[in-house]
Structure 1
Amino acid sequence: MGPLARTGIGVALACGVLVTAVTVGKNSDGGSDAVSLKGPYVALGDSYTSGPKIPPQTGNPVGCARSSRNYPSLVAKELGIKAADFRDVSCSGATTADLTAPQSTNNGTNPAQLSALSRNTRLVTLGIGGNDIGFSSMITTCVTTGVLFKVADHFSDISQKAPCKEKYSSGSTDQVAQKIRTAGNRLARTLAEIKRAAPEAQVYVVGYPNLLPAHGTDCGSDMPFAPDDVLFLRQKEQQLNTMLYEQAKAAGATYVDTFTPSLGRDACSKAATRWIEPLRPSSPAAAVHPNERGERGMATAVLRALND
């Protein structure tokens, strides 16, 4: 999981604009793959990109809760991209709508994220979609229903072991699946807009890391879900990532899988190894969000994708 080593930095003149040319070699497994990139680099996304509560917090508006140790910052540093050629406009709470319109936060307004793009942009990373389906509020709801389940502890009907799933399913209607489809349509339009605004850019759609254990149904007191709701939430995250993959592929962008490398490093795993903090974080990070280790892992996944 070590970082890629930067082996060369040059200067190139492209379309009449001076841009940074970067050559990356030696991947984290010791390979010799290389890829040439040119700045500027623009990072778009929500709180899984911005890194709320991971010190040091930086940038404006303050309400976007960006960390200078989030994965875009780590990627830019590893590639040797100059500060003037790197723009992180990710923002906590962002949805796909906030990519094309200003976003109000509890401390300032973030301009439309796509406004940071230009015809000179050469690299774009995008991590979005979780807020479109209300995943954070869903987790809070599932914990609340899980606590009630554990207190009652007298259910015998297996269907009642997933009270949160039942809440989000009305008859044969899967509310979350509908929201994922809607988010997919919005993302398709967004990716087309990115292509128009930055036609020379390489675009990488970054998926979400594994939040809950791949096996088992008990997350303990830090994440007290009802047994079958762990499976329900895990399935919904996988469906979200599948949508991101499909939309990236359809748009000619590259999907970055952060789920696979984070297996066993979910919010229910040991504090010394996990990428995602539980509802009561033990490391500086927002609840049910990547900690610094998780952001480093996501940066490694992006850098590996650049070498593929």
Structure 2
Amino acid sequence: MRPKTRTSLVGVLTCGALIAAAVITQHDGDTGSPSRLARGPYVALGDSYTAGPGISQDSGDPAGCDRSDRNYPALVAERLDLKTADFHDMSCSGAVITDLTAPQSTDDGTNPAQLSALSGRTRLVTLGIGGNDIDFSPMIKRCVGAGALYRALGSGKYVPDDSPCEKQYVSHGTDEVRRKIDAAGEHLADTLGEIGRRAPQARVYVVGYPEILPSRGDDCLRAMSLAPGDVAFLHEKERQLNVMLRERAEAGGAEYVDTYTSSRGHGACAAEDTRWIEPLVPTASAAPVHPNARGERGMADAVLKALES
């Protein structure tokens, strides 16, 4: 997703982000169980939920991608004991699906088309993207503003079904966010086909976004300044995004990595010592409403679990 502007980082939810990876299995006798994981080459693609802005030292060029050396692709590569030459992290904050096939300008340099790192040698691909395509970060900011205004003009308190922001996106039977999710799905389908053409030997895993907000907003007022009904609305939009990512992955011959289930209860409104996603004002090293180091480790664990299955 996008912590900065479109030309630099990615936004919030975006997003993150979707992951792809590959497993080459070798069987021991008649056990049918894999004896080793693929050792690469591994290419990581994605937005800021993949890049991990603000977590630790930036890795690679351009600096405007805010790519952490402790993001989940780096942790996966480390666990697989990959050589530097066999690991290519192309993720970039602010990326949308079209940035996978064209250069992406940032506030500090230009990231090459992410798919340019793929080749016939590639064996693992992880892909985490889609949040910026539905403008999830601007949507959260808009909902925070709507909630603050609603509270200031009203009684100073919310009631459980208050959702001043949702009404700006859903009206007269038209769901603007749902429309963007569907459009992103079409673009993702084309992109998965292109990945298959460029890296025909690779196993591809699309990774969904971890929980950003809970299904109920009772505990989010202090951390996120969102009306309870809008917390539920944003939660549902992330769920719809992840469903689209799963369906498109499966239809495109890729596999889906579920980071949401293991992250439930660890979103931006959770306690400081357990959350994977930082709130609007981070208390750990991370961009606002983006994964912290704990979140990137959790996402790496989900990818590795998928590779071992």
Root-mean-square deviation (CA, aligned residues, Å) is 2.2
Equivalences for residues 263-278 of structure 1 within 5 A: 263-278=264-279
Q: Distance in 1 between matches of 2:35 and 2:131?
A: 32
CA distance in 2, matches of 1:89, 1:111: 8
Residues 31-90 of structure 1: per-residue CA shift (max 9 Å, x gap):
x86443141000000000000011111210000000000000000000111111000000
Per-residue deviation, 1:151 = 1.6
1:300 corresponds in structure 2 to: 301
Equivalent residue for 2:51? 50
Residues 1:186 and 1:256: Cα distance change in structure 2 (over 3 Å) = same
Counterpart CA distance in 2 for 1:294 and 1:33 is 27
Q: Which runs of 4+ in 1 moved over 2 A?
A: 21-25, 32-36, 152-160, 214-218
The alignment of Structure 1 onto Structure 2 pairs a total of residues equal to: 282
User: CA separation in 1, counterparts of 2:39 and 2:218?
Assistant: 45
Matched residue SS, 2:246: helix
- Show structure 1 runs of 5+ residues with no match: 1-20, 26-31
Report the AA paired with residue 288 of structure 1: V
Partner of 1:60: 61
Q: Structure 2 unaligned runs (5+)?
A: 1-21, 27-32
Offset at 1:215? Answer: 3.6
**Which secondary structure state, in structure 2, belongs to the residue aligned with residue 297 of structure 1?**
helix
Please report the TM-score for the alignment, with normalisation by the length of structure 2: 0.87
Bigger relative CO (Cα 8 Å, ≥ 6 apart): 2
Change (3 A) 1:211 1:226: same
Give the CA deviation at 1:150: 1.7
Report the residue type matching 1:151 in the other structure. Answer: A
With normalisation by structure 1, the TM-score equals: 0.87
1: CA distance, partners of 2:35 / 2:296:
23
**Distance across 2 between alignment mates of 1:34 and 1:224:** 49
Q: Find the structure with the greater CA-based Rg.
A: 1
Q: What is the distance in 2 between the residues matched to 1:228 and 1:252? A: 37
Structure 1 Cα separation of the partners of residues 163 and 44 of structure 2: 37
Q: Which residue of 1 aligns with 2:153?
A: 152
1:202–1:253: 8 Å Cα contact kept in structure 2?
Answer: yes
Alignment partner, residue 220 of structure 1: 221
Q: CA deviation at 1:148?
A: 1.1
Paired position in structure 2 for 1:258? 259
| Aligned counterpart, 1:128 | 129
Change (3 A) 1:256 1:294: same
CA contact (8 A) 1:203 1:254 kept: yes
Matched-pair contact (CA < 8 Å) for 1:214–1:263 = no
Cα distance in 1 between the residues matched to 2:106 and 2:136: 18
Give the number of the structure whose residues are more often strand, by fraction.
1
